[in-house]
């Protein structure tokens, strides 16, 4: 993997931004002093010759060219070029080039660099977030068409957002995978969480997760509990009740439908989970989410909400909380 460490102590100046669509493309990029160009490929796979080898840039990938590069770019014929490009001239540009495949070593470079640097790979997959990335390119291109000082300021601002986002995505991906092959507990728990987060609404089981990781369910359960301090079932149920509460706020679904959406066919079981997790039933929680106080037993039945501490009546078995200061509870006023 080829990537660059960029010193953030520079003054950017807008150079050019455009989108292009063509069925013929051949280009040579050479000796662009102090210019960094970022290209988002929205068409067929690009072929780029760099340092004596060919790099392929598929749809949904970013390619970043630096001043020290000599590139020969083309698309296979017949093919369709469709890209979004933005370039900045950076005064006093300082950068270092690295070629490293080990995430552990890349992570060490990132950790030692501190906060005053960005990290940009030459090629990066952004297909999972392509709409957001493309929207940043569109903003930069549209801002640059103003051709005035205000337009340049907006363009530079959006460019900072783009390059900072790409640097963050790269660093997070490296640090998440750093040393996972050497630490099986973190590896399996990390992979299991990724699977659960994307599939918990489909009724996924521990057995299915373990099968996808090619380990036994018992081993997966043990390492997950040791690493995450929570069982897999409890983790899945927590995601389900959090999703259920979000759906309650939308006021569009019945409890039965919510149970179905979050991967539970039994609405009564969902309500029990919800009550255990939040300490209040789903009906009451939907009222609480309408900004009623959690501290009243039935705040929606109370006319005058002057206090914010619930004090049970003498007929209830709850322990009365110790209160300092003056609190006017409607139920104590009626005693």
In contact, 38 and 161? CB cutoff 8 Å:
no
What is the model's pLDDT at position 308?
A: 39
User: 40 with 162, same domain?
Assistant: yes
Domain with residue 65: its CATH number is 2.60.120.280
Domain residue limits at 38 = 2-180
Q: Exposed, middle or buried: residue 275 (CB in 10 Å: 0-12, 13-18, 19+)?
A: middle
Is 276 found in the same domain as 217? yes
Please tell me the distance from the alpha carbon of residue 134 to that of residue 38, in angstroms, as a whole number. Answer: 12
CA-wise closest residue to 196 among 212, 216, 214, 185: 212
Q: What is the mean pLDDT of the chain?
A: 77
Average pLDDT over residues 305-317: 42
* Helices and strands (H, E) in the chain, number of each type: 11, 12
State whether 158 and 53 are in the same domain: yes
Report which DSSP code applies to 306. Answer: -
Domain boundary among 161, 180, 199: 180
CATH number at residue 245: 1.10.10.60
Has residue 86 got a pLDDT over 70? yes
SS (H, E, C) 88-120: EEEECCCEEEEECCCHHHHHHHHHHHCCCEEEE
| Residues 23 and 171 grouped into a single domain | yes
User: Can you tell me the mean pLDDT for 206-219?
Assistant: 85
Domain shared by 96 and 195, yes or no = no
Interval 118-164: pLDDT, tens: 888 999 998 888 888 888 898 888 888 887 888 888 888 888 888 88
Kindly state whether residues 13 and 160 are assigned to the same domain: yes
Residues 235 and 157 placed together within one structural domain of the fold: no
**Higher per-residue pLDDT: 276 or 176:** 276
pLDDT at res. 81 = 83
Asked if residue 116 and residue 9 are part of one domain, the reply reads yes
Question: Looking at the 3D structure of the chain, how many domains does it have?
Answer: 3
Do 164 and 77 lie in a common domain?
yes
Same structural domain, 197 and 81: no
Given a cut of 50, whether residue 32 has pLDDT beyond it is yes
Same domain assignment for residues 335 and 280:
no
Q: How far apart are CA 245 and CA 45, in angstroms?
A: 43
């Amino acid at each position: 993997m080829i990537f660059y460490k960029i010193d953030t102590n520079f003054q950017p100046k807008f150079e050019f931004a455009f989108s292009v669509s063509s069925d013929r493309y051949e280009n040579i990029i050479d000796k662009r002093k102090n210019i960094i160009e970022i290209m988002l490929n929205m068409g067929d796979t690009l072929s780029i010759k760099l340092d004596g080898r060919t790099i392929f840039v598929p749809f949904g990938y970013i390619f970043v060219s630096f001043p020290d590069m000599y590139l020969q770019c083309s698309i296979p014929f017949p093919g369709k070029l469709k890209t979004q490009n933005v370039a900045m001239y950076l005064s006093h540009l300082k950068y270092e080039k690295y070629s490293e495949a080990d995430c552990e070593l890349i992570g060490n470079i990132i950790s030692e660099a501190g906060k005053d640097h960005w990290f940009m790979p030459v090629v990066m997959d952004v297909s999972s977030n392509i709409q957001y990335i493309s929207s940043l390119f569109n903003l930069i291109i549209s801002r640059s068409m103003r051709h005035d000082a205000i337009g340049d300021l907006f363009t530079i601002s959006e460019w900072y957002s783009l390059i900072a986002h790409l640097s963050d995505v790269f660093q997070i991906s490296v640090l998440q995978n750093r040393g996972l092959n050497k630490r099986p507990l973190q590896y399996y728990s990390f992979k299991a969480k990724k699977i659960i987060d994307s599939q918990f609404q489909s009724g996924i089981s521990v057995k299915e997760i373990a099968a996808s990781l090619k380990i036994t369910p018992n081993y997966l359960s043990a390492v997950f509990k040791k690493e995450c301090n929570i069982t897999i079932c409890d983790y899945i149920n927590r995601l389900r009740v959090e999703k259920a509460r979000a759906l309650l706020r939308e006021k569009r679904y019945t409890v039965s439908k919510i149970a179905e959406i979050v991967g539970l066919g039994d609405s009564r079981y969902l309500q029990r989970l919800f009550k255990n997790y939040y300490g209040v039933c789903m009906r009451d929680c939907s009222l609480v989410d309408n900004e009623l106080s959690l501290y009243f037993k039935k705040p929606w039945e109370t006319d005058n909400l002057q206090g914010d501490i619930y004090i049970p009546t003498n007929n209830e078995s709850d322990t009365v909380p110790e209160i300092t200061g003056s609190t006017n509870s409607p139920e104590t006023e009626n005693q």
